[in-house]
Structure 1
Amino acid sequence: MPRVVVFDEFGGPEVLRIVADPAVEPEAGEVRVRIEAFAVNPLDAMMRSGTSPAPVPLPHARLGIEATGVIDAVGPEVVGHRVGDPVIITAIPNASVRGSYADYTTIPASAVIPRPAGLDIPQAAAIWVAYSTAYGALVEEAKMRPADLVLISGASGAVGRSAMQIANQLGAVPIAITRHAARSDELRSAGAAAVISTDHEDIVDAVHRRTSGAGVDIVLDLVRGPGQHDLLKATRPGGILVAAGYLDPRPTPDFGDTPVTVINYRGFDHLSDPAVVGRMAAFLSAGVSLGALQPAIDEVFPLNDVVEAHRRFDKGLHAGKKIVLTTT
């Protein structure tokens, strides 16, 4: 009987348990995916702990918003997908019902794309959420261009690392922000053209020194909170700040009139638009083929060790890299 990870109450990793559930037959417009691997994301921990922005119905709630696998069954009226196709899952909006922490999930055919050649299974499981979020924020929203100076807060995380690679692929200049100078070399190796460590320097002063007082063209704010004020001051008049993360739990104040365009971005905003998903998929495939886009993997666990994987995530031991679980 296929395995599914579920939880019946909110809490720490120990609330997760593995049960046997039958695989669901696909209906019209759906495919069933035999999952080979899935990644742990912040939203998974939020759902499990009861802090998700969307309600999670209990009991028997599922988890998981990204995965890779092989199409196992195809429902009526599905075009362009066949049994045996290796795919990446792009969106599971009802993850509490169809989440990817399982041997199988049945989802709309529109929620899968072909798996790019050049990725192993753990990489394919870990690439979509971070890279699609960074791409959507920087390319679709901010219209990033070659030579743009791009300031990235929360750069050590999975989305921040993805953003640096995407900026480099398009010829922009990523400037990473970190709280710890000890991470500077790692961030440069990950693609940062420059690193600002807030334990040693002021963000605004550091940006103005590097830009002769002009400020950066684009800010990708993956933190929010009161610190957004400094990011706005580090942006040139007419520049763009895209807020796409919530690493700081404190409220983000309304800073009033600013010469900077502020965009609040949610990754799911674009995933219901087939045209945007198509552009994301093409960009991703090209970047993987060129070697420009490579997800950073922390540790790979078997599905049966899901509790240990979540403990590692909660403790922050993954250092912004992706934790992956395999089903075989």
Structure 2
Amino acid sequence: MAPAGGKQARVYRFNEYGGPEKLQLKEEEVPYPSAGHVRVRVEAMSLNNADSLFLANQYLEPPALPSKIGYEIAGTVDAIGEGVKQFSVGDRVSAIPAFSVAEYANFAELTVLPERALMHTPRNLDKIQAASFTFAYFTNYYGLFDLGQLKPFQTVLITAASSTTGLAAISMVRAAGSTVIATSRSSAKADALKKAGANYVIATAEEDLVERVHAITGGKGVDIAYDCIAGPMSEAIVNCVRQFGHWVVYGAMDSSPVPFPVLQLMVKTVKLDTFMVFDFTGHPGLNIPANDQALARAMEYVSRGIESGALPIVVDKVFEGLEGLPDALRRQQKGTGTGKIVVEL
């Protein structure tokens, strides 16, 4: 049977760089998927910092104007291209971080993605949750287990722990049988972090980070510092890590130029790893080859953890309707919430 043609759908695009005010909702034809691709009817989309950075042309890869936008979505398979084996029409799917946002972007009523950029949605998730878990949990899987070598009975320092990735990391560390020391700039989010599973919370603008960590660990320091801040905090973070411990950096919320703490790293033999999730899942636009074994390991771990209830999904706010995306981005940019911001279609 010959494949059906394209379908009309509303798609977000932007013609110039900037903030949410630059987004335009346009009616377009979304084509039938080519070989190895899947067309998805989007039911929910959640926001990541990468979305705002991409819109402002401050991300890893430049947008080609007029550009689409959006990484993380969930929905139902609408059509499959030749050779697709993992999915059938009607399957519930969630996007995973294994594609170029400059080539494929998803904030639309219909989108087309490569087969390897999707996974079957865990059975116990509704559509809001289905759009809200893959980027944080996949990132943490590689950072904590592959690089940090997380094991039971360890202590892990998680910076900016109220972020969606930080909250997911708290759950993963606790599920592994280890202790979490979470940081936040102020004590305002301390209760939320403890509710999410943090054993201890340090307000870095109100307390001495190194003193508190050493008091908590009996002077030994943490086994892993899982860090998305870097910047001027780097020296303090290294001083929180035990001898032969790990400092895993997956972001640079503070990109201020600072002296690199090489002496502290050498004296304590701290292993430093910097990474992006795409280093494991692959990114054609950045010439990073795919690692299908790493992708399969993460997918199995995340699916099992979510279906067992060990890995919860925290949602901050849901915006109704595709038209709610600009307001959702504005809320995300304020950084006042705790958990995922989602747009429900």
C-alpha deviation, 1:266, in angstroms? 0.5
In the alignment, residue 221 of structure 2 is paired with which amino acid? Answer: G
Gaps (5+ residues) in structure 2?
1-7, 282-289
Summarize deviations over 1:156-198 as a string: whole Å, max 9, x none: 1111100000011111111101111122121110110111112
Check whether the contact 1:7–1:15 (CA below 8 A) recurs between aligned residues. yes
In the alignment, residue 213 of structure 2 is paired with which amino acid? Answer: V
Question: Which secondary structure state, in structure 2, belongs to the residue aligned with residue 248 of structure 1?
Answer: coil
- From 27, 31, 48, the equivalent of 1:24 is 31
Question: Which secondary structure state, in structure 1, belongs to the residue aligned with residue 210 of structure 2?
Answer: helix
1:283 is matched with which residue?
301
Check whether the contact 2:250–2:274 (CA below 8 A) recurs between aligned residues. yes
- From 168, 191, 202, the equivalent of 1:196 is 202
Question: Which secondary structure state, in structure 1, belongs to the residue aligned with residue 161 of structure 2?
Answer: coil
Summarize deviations over 1:2-56 as a string: whole Å, max 9, x none: 0110000011211001001111221111111111111111000001122223211
Question: Which secondary structure state, in structure 1, belongs to the residue aligned with residue 206 of structure 2?
Answer: coil
In the alignment, residue 279 of structure 1 is paired with which amino acid? Answer: R
Which whole-Å CA distance do the structure 2 matches of 1:68 and 1:253 have between them? 42
2:276 is matched with which residue?
266
In the alignment, residue 218 of structure 1 is paired with which amino acid? Answer: I
Give the TM-score of the pair, scaled to structure 1: 0.95
In the alignment, residue 261 of structure 1 is paired with which amino acid? Answer: K
1:215 is matched with which residue?
221
Which whole-Å CA distance do the structure 1 matches of 2:258 and 2:58 have between them? 18
Which whole-Å CA distance do the structure 1 matches of 2:198 and 2:310 have between them? 13
Moved more, 179-188 or 88-97: 88-97
- From 311, 314, 335, the equivalent of 1:293 is 311
In the alignment, residue 198 of structure 2 is paired with which amino acid? Answer: A
Cα distance 1:196–1:8, how it changes in 2: closer, same or farther (>3 A)? same
**Percent identical residues:** 34
Q: How many residues align?
A: 325
Output the aligned Cα RMSD. Answer: 1.4
Check whether the contact 1:66–1:126 (CA below 8 A) recurs between aligned residues. yes
Q: Give the 5 Å matches for 1:93-242.
A: 93-242=99-248
Which whole-Å CA distance do the structure 2 matches of 1:251 and 1:286 have between them? 41
Which whole-Å CA distance do the structure 2 matches of 1:304 and 1:244 have between them? 32
1:308 is matched with which residue?
327
Which whole-Å CA distance do the structure 1 matches of 2:262 and 2:33 have between them? 50
Check whether the contact 2:315–2:338 (CA below 8 A) recurs between aligned residues. no
Check whether the contact 2:97–2:277 (CA below 8 A) recurs between aligned residues. no
